Chains A and B, each alone.
Chain A
Amino acid sequence: MLAVDLFVNGLIVGLFYALMAVGLAMIFGVLKIINFAHGEFYMIGAYTYVLAALKLGVSPWIALPLAAVAGGAIGWLVERTLMRPLYAGYASWSIMKDEYAVVVTFGLSLLLINVVDKVVGPYPYRGPTLTESSRFAFGPVMLNGQKLIAAAVSAALLVGLALFIKRSLWGRQIQAVAQNRLGASLAGIDATRTTSLIFVISGILAALSGALLAPVINPSPDVGAFPAIKSYVIVVLGGMGSVWGAMLASLLLGVLESFFAVYVSYDYRDAFGLLILILVLLFRPQGLLGERGREL
């Protein structure tokens, strides 16, 4: 019954991946760039949670929304200061747009890592758990309370995001801008504000992902690199820019990896996802869902 355990735990890991990857997919959907600083949004969320709980002594349940606020703020700030040249009236920049995005987000990633390293210190912190409980067996599946609660929060956030994008006015505006920025502007949608909104949402989700995992990952300044690479794989697998594709691909990657680590090779489990990334880009660049998945 190892397989059932692997499957369920893989799905749970996939939920955490999804929180990261959905934001990355939305940013790609709207700006057609990869945010290489996405892992640092995650890192900032993890640190805010841990430091608020340990240094300020607030309850983990208050530290969690604080992490979301920090993530949203950093997302907003990044969009406001660095992303505007990609679309707002800098016509002559269009040739170098891709290069600018890579350099700036890569530089930002280094900057945030090193600032945190300097301010907080390079040593990992152990985050407080949301609930105290030991491991228990649920049928053949080994779980613990923290993992279960974190998974439930993640699932709720993802469902909430899906409803938000499908139903709410702002969500529809996001869809419109992702489909056609110019057309959306002509229809009276403030595309700039919508892009800000996307960065805020991405920041919040990535930060919450970091905060929820903080008790497991023991945040250190470079903790974001690993989930960031996972979310690149997921965004490619799900079809660049597709939110639904990213959600599906996260769960799939979580499960595939947990099986790969046990049945094939533990050492190479990280290389496995990257190999998928290269193969998908070469042979199925539209991702798992194909063109249909392009609808944000």
Chain B
Amino acid sequence: MNRANAPAASNGERNLWSRRLALDFRAALVVVAALAAAPLVVTSPYTLGILIVSMYFALLALGWNLLAGFTGQFSLAPAAFAMLGAYGPGLFDYQWHLSLAWGIPAGVVGTAILGWLLGRVVLRLRGPYLALTTLSFAEIARVVVGNSYDFTRGAQGLNVPTLMQSRVGYYYLFLGVVLAVLVGLYVLMRSATGRFWLAIRDDETGAESRGINVVRYKTLSFALSCAICGLAGALYGTFSQLVSPELGLLLQTGIVIAMVVIGGMGTLTGPLIGALLVYLASEWMRGFGNVQMIVFSALVIVFARFFREGLWGLATRRVRVTRRTTVAAQ
């Protein structure tokens, strides 16, 4: 496939999807800008820590959304890849006494390769079969890491050196990574690659019959998505200075799914605001007797049942309607 066959996004004839994507991206940039300004107001290290963790979840949500929202591959393994990524710096330090400059890239490359392999393995599987296989992969990864006492110290976890002492420094590091991932996703989704992913999501057989290399683009999506989760995990490991198999619990995957579904699947802003809102609100609700998980799991069901487009979709519903009426008026 070459450029010529892709919808002519570059010719100035911008179709509805690229308009929506551009709007989506701009809104995501506004959120990032708001986050960038936040340390001017928020100075307590505790609140900054909460924001950092919420950005960790935003990275996982963006990574998972690339696979589930854009490519239609409903994986249940994002938390497992975050755990595997976090063990990159953990193991490099513990086993071989190599610095984080080796460990973090190793975590990212390792999860990218594992993600690519998983993508190869599950190529033919769809829907419930895919969900079960990725769930099994995630649980096997957690059991193996948790039981290899000699290599990973098992459930005790590993201590990881920190990148820097400054909370604010970490805050901007995470924010920079979120921004880089957003820009990267936007560029990809604008390009032919993004269109192919969407085509595979909407109709895999149809996409293949139009000459799209489904194998290549599906495995690419798996590798990228898992690498984003791995990077998030590796950075989070150095921030919390402890990695353990708990990072890969299925519950964590459930939280990531909740964030994306509430925010809006298949968008850029959706996972971002979903992660921030869910995590910040859950910290806030801790004060009211730990009801946050009840509220969010109920919200996920309500959103999946009644508001499938999520918060971002609800917010832009009106935008789309006005566009449609202007087109009709013309």
Contact = CB atoms under 8 A, between A and B. Distances in A.
Interface of A: 28, 32-34, 82, 85, 95-104, 106-111, 114-115, 118, 225, 229, 232-233, 236, 240, 267-268, 270-271, 274-275, 277-278, 281-282, 285
Interface of B: 68, 72, 74, 76, 121, 125-129, 131-133, 135-137, 139-140, 143-144, 147, 202, 250-251, 254, 257-258, 261, 265, 289-291, 293-294, 296-298, 300-301, 304-305, 308
Nearest to B68: A99
Contacts of B147: 267-268
Contacts, number: 113
B301 A111 contact: yes
A63 B213 CA distance: 58
A114 B143 CA distance: 24
Nearest to A235: B132
Contacts of B258: 107, 110
* Candidate in B128, B265, B289, B296 with the most chain A CB atoms within 10 angstroms: B128
B152 to A, nearest CB: 13
B131 A111 contact: no
A34 B251 contact: no
Given A98-B74, A110-B297, A85 B291 contact: no
A72 B152 CA distance: 44
Nearest to B301: A107
Contact of B144 (A225, A236, A271): A271
A208 B200 CA distance: 43
A229 B139 contact: yes
A100 B257 CA distance: 12
B222 to A, nearest CB: 15
A271 B132 contact: no
A103 B294 contact: no
Contacts of B121: 278, 282
B132 A82 contact: no
A110 B257 CA distance: 11
Given A110-B293, A285-B129, A103 B136 contact: no
B300 A107 contact: yes
Given A82-B305, A103-B257, A107-B254, 7 more contacts: A107-B300, A108-B297, A109-B254, A114-B297, A233-B136, A240-B129, A281-B132
B300 A33 contact: no
A34 B134 CA distance: 13
B298 A118 contact: no
Contacts of A229: 135, 139
A94 to B, nearest CB: 12
A285 B301 CA distance: 30
A132 B240 CA distance: 49
Contacts of B74: 98-99, 102
A271 B143 contact: yes
B126 A98 contact: yes
